[in-house]
Amino acid sequence: MAKKKHYWLMKSEPDAYSIDDLERDGREPWNGIRNYQARNFLRDDMKEGDLAFFYHSNAKPPGIVGVMKIDSGPEPDRLAFDENSAYFDPKSDPEDPRWIQRQVRFVAKLPEMVTLEEMKRDENLEGMLVTRRGQRLSIQPVDANHFRYLCKRGGLKTIPS
């Protein structure tokens, strides 16, 4: 039997990079993550082929807007080595990179976004991390049943696999 898929939620501010940008680009490095818990998910727990929600944070309204696929293994985040980057980190050694990225590939845009407010109100999503007050982790695991439910809720006819 094939290894069980994991599901994720990944946040981006649409002013910086939106679902429309990913639809246009097709495949992009997901980089600039500078939080250890999120880094560990990127490095250790994500598998190539996993599916993830694209979440618009700091948006009006915030919420889930699309689905993407993890399309690479863990790679060093080279922005950490670039002095001119906002994500430069002098403590990241190119011989032993501290920060990790993944390639992600566009899968689908949700016909209807599912807002954070809707998710908080929805009893089917009880316990989902993103609805927890004060949490701010930019990469989060999502339960498989929550993933399927949210795909339908967002108007997808078929659940991506």
Partner DNA sequence: GCCAACGTTGGC
44 binds DNA (CB under 7 A): no
Residues 6+ apart with CB under 8 A from 147: 7, 51, 53, 159
Rule CB under 7 A: which of 93-122 touch DNA? Answer: 116-117, 120
CB of 1 to DNA, least distance (A): 34
Q: Which of 89, 64, 48, 60 is nearest to 140 (CA)?
A: 64
Choosing from 58, 112, 155, 160, the residue that interacts with DNA (CB under 7 A) is 58
Rule CB under 7 A: which of 121-150 touch DNA? Answer: 133-138
Burial 71-108, CB ≥16 within 10 A → b, else e: beebbbbbbbbeeeeebebeebeeeebebbbbbbebbb
36 binds DNA (CB under 7 A): yes
Choosing from 62, 66, 97, 154, the residue that interacts with DNA (CB under 7 A) is 62
Helix (H) or strand (E) segment spanning residue 160: none
Whole-angstrom Cα distance, residue 67 to residue 69?
7
Nearer to DNA, 3 or 136 (CB): 136
CB of 157 to DNA, least distance (A): 27
Whole-angstrom Cα distance, residue 70 to residue 68?
7
Cβ atoms of 65 and 110 closer than 8 Å: yes
Choosing from 57, 72, 85, 103, the residue that interacts with DNA (CB under 7 A) is 57
Nearer to DNA, 98 or 148 (CB): 98
90 binds DNA (CB under 7 A): no
- Distance between start and end Cα atoms, the chain: 16
CB of 107 to DNA, least distance (A): 21
**Would you tell me which residues interact with DNA (CB under 7 A)?**
11, 13, 34-37, 57-59, 62, 91, 116-117, 120, 133-138
